Structure 1
Amino acid sequence: MGKRVGLIGDPVVHSVSPVFQQAAFDALAIAARYEAWHTPAAALAERVAGLRAPDVLGANVTVPHKQAVVPLLDRLHPGAARAGAVNTIVNEDGRLIGYNTDIAGFLDALRLEGGVDPGGAWAVVIGAGGAARAVVIALVDAGVARLRVLNRTLARARALAVELADGRVEAAALEPERAATLLAGADLVVNCTTVGMRHSAEEHALPVPVEALPVGAMAVDLVANPLVTPFLAAAAARGCRTLGGLPMLVRQGAAAFTLWTGVPAPVPVMMAAAYRAMGAVG
């Protein structure tokens, strides 16, 4: 009997995770099926409880549940505990262990696909949710010189900065009229919100006004679908280097695959499947 694993989120219709994860299982002849599990907040506890079944390897967790899922688990890996967010759940004989593979996935993509080492950089992170928490930790650990967290709700950005207790991290309210000042001189700008995501209410919107982006900065969007988001298109037109969210999505997924199976993930297979699913060559 085959195993099951899936993606927990709301929405999940936009995700290519089922495509590249299934490609990995098939490439290694592992009898497992990766599914998309649309899960509204009211159904989250029941969905997570179902992961304890013996035929379930675990799950990936995406927006908006990366923080909400934490109290439903039996134990957190230190990285997930530090981030206060979980994107991967592993079923260990009925006990659910939470991991955060976004941290390593983001850094790997930034360095390998983006060609950028953030050590010594002045970085701005837009958003303060589960994905942003992982990115901030990744950048702090990589040695950024300074980091500003921007969020529509200032209290959430401040809470993240306070929890990290690192003098390099500061918080500010994301106010469009002040965006140019808040981003001035930044080497790296990372959108960690869902603004620009396909099938979302803000599919055609920008997380910050285009004129706020520093010319020549590296602009990264964690949104993986579409490949070129409005933010990335605006950044490129502004003269910025850009990196989309698909490489990070695949690399965090590869780390999750290894946690579920105990074997190295076939990253080239996964990356190629992801780009094919997006209608691109990669």
Structure 2
Amino acid sequence: MITGKTGLMGIMGDPVEHSLSPPMHNAAFQQLKLDHVYVPFHVKRGNLAPAILGARNMGIKGLNLTIPHKIEVINYLDELDEVAELIGAVNTVKFTETNAVGYNTDGVGAVKAIEEATPVKGKKIIILGAGGAARAISFQLLLSGVGEVLIANRTREKACNLRDDLKETSMASVDCLGLDDELTWELKDTDVLINTTPVGMHPHQDDEPVVTSDMMHSDLVVNDIVYNPLETGLLREAGKAGAQAINGTKMLIYQGLESFSIWTGVTPPVEVFETALMRELGY
């Protein structure tokens, strides 16, 4: 029952109709008997400023931001936490009576997903891609104490630009690669491989993965942040090599749990988010 006392959270994006966040958050509110509801808001590009002002004035408790609003929203907030400031993008906003604070939980989500399989501290990690997700994850990895991060991208210059930004914030070893023989060589002693590119995402699930089984080893942990399909071409290749595979639902779940905790001070059981997500995905 929604009443005048019900706390309102939501997600703003363009598009937003297919967001998987509402079923996860609402399942957790119900499980924990919290009087909150989470709804999608379709906010078109160019309309974010009045939307955030409206959210503040209506007493909305918290928001997630997705494409294309993660960078622009910073202009309308009072402060950023350390990670969001480093990344330069926000996916979570908490409103109080006096201010609006921006966070980025994408990187936390990815690190927690990987740490289900192996601790990241001191490890050598290769990230495929140099876009927004790669940026969020790589900064969070450095803050988590990894030993080495290599950014591998089809356009090497873009990977090197991200490397330069990362080097300003950490003493860890950071470098950039192209998708060539250098990548194959570096993979020989890599602990974790993370794909942040859309290669293999529906409806292009038959795309050839950049890294194939002959480039992997059995002690490798392979995380693909794509969650549709659950088993991407990259994860199938990981299976052939005997490597440990982590699909994209884990990052989605953990970044959502982190947002939920920021807004409510409570962290729901992982299983609640996971069950709701799998039901929504049809599994």
- The answer to whether the superposition gives a TM-score over 0.5 is yes
SS of structure 1 residue aligned to 2:46: helix
* Root mean square deviation of aligned Cα: 2.7
Map residues 63-142 of structure 1 onto 2, 5 A cutoff: 63-93=67-97, 95-112=99-116, 115-142=117-144
Q: Which runs of 5+ in 1 are unaligned?
A: none
Q: Please, which of 252, 256, 259 is the counterpart of residue 259 of structure 2?
A: 256
2:166 maps to what in 1? Answer: 164
2:148 maps to what in 1? Answer: 146
Query: Which range moves more in the overlay, 59-68 or 118-127?
Result: 59-68
User: Which amino acid letter does the alignment assign opposite residue 172 of structure 1?
Assistant: L
Residues 19-40 of structure 1: CA deviation (Å, up to 9, x unaligned): 1111011122223221233444
Distance in 1, matches of 2:119 and 2:10, equals: 32
Distance in 2, matches of 1:171 and 1:160, equals: 8
Q: Which runs of 5+ in 2 are unaligned?
A: none
Are the counterparts in 2 of residues 184 and 212 from structure 1 also a CA contact under 8 Å? no
Are the counterparts in 1 of residues 214 and 241 from structure 2 also a CA contact under 8 Å? no
Whether 2:10 is the aligned partner of 1:6: answer yes
Distance in 1, matches of 2:181 and 2:45, equals: 33
Q: 1:198 to 1:12 in 2, by over 3 A?
A: farther
Are the counterparts in 2 of residues 227 and 278 from structure 1 also a CA contact under 8 Å? no
Q: Please, which of 234, 238, 247 is the counterpart of residue 235 of structure 1?
A: 238
Deviation at 1:102, TM superposition (A): 2.4
Runs of 4+ residues deviating >6 angstroms: none
Residues 127-166 of structure 1: CA deviation (Å, up to 9, x unaligned): 2233222221232233333211123444432232222224
SS of structure 2 residue aligned to 1:196: coil
Distance in 2, matches of 1:170 and 1:67, equals: 25
TM-score by length of 1: 0.84
TM-score by length of 2: 0.83
Are the counterparts in 2 of residues 58 and 89 from structure 1 also a CA contact under 8 Å? yes
Are the counterparts in 1 of residues 205 and 229 from structure 2 also a CA contact under 8 Å? no
Distance in 2, matches of 1:262 and 1:235, equals: 37
Q: How many residues align?
A: 275
SS of structure 1 residue aligned to 2:261: helix
